[in-house]
């Protein structure tokens, strides 16, 4: 857990399908995306199996979607 205390991490907000409403704060997930980059990502690289932690989650039954806030620590 020291990576969350001693290093800056990236905060991502995502809107996903309602099926992800089972997640809760503190859950660890992996993110793979061809579009996401941050200051810790090497040039010409994207997120490939980056570890992340759910920080916040909310859901909207009308839109059938979840709003998830994720923290992504740096790759060391």
Task: Output the pLDDT for position 37.
Answer: 82
Closest CA to 12 of 22, 1, 2, 41: 41
pLDDT digits (tens, 9 = 90+) for 15-55: 999 999 999 999 999 999 998 888 777 777 888 899 999 99
Question: d(Cα 42, Cα 69) in Å, to the nearest integer?
Answer: 23
pTM over 0.75: yes
Cα 11 to the center of its chain, rounded Å: 7
Residue 2: pLDDT over 90: no
Task: Output the pLDDT for position 28.
Answer: 95
Task: Output the pLDDT for position 22.
Answer: 94
Closest CA to 53 of 29, 18, 76, 75: 29
pLDDT digits (tens, 9 = 90+) for 64-74: 999 999 999 98
Q: Which residues contact 6 (CB under 8 A, 6 or more apart)?
A: none
């Amino acid at each position: 857990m020291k990576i969350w205390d001693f290093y800056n991490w990236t905060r991502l907000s995502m809107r996903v399908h309602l099926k992800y409403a089972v997640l809760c704060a503190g859950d660890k997930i992996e993110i793979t995306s061809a579009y996401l980059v941050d200051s810790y990502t090497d040039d010409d690289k994207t997120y490939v199996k980056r570890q992340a932690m759910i920080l916040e989650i909310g859901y909207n039954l009308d839109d059938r979607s979840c709003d998830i806030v994720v923290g992504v620590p740096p790759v060391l």
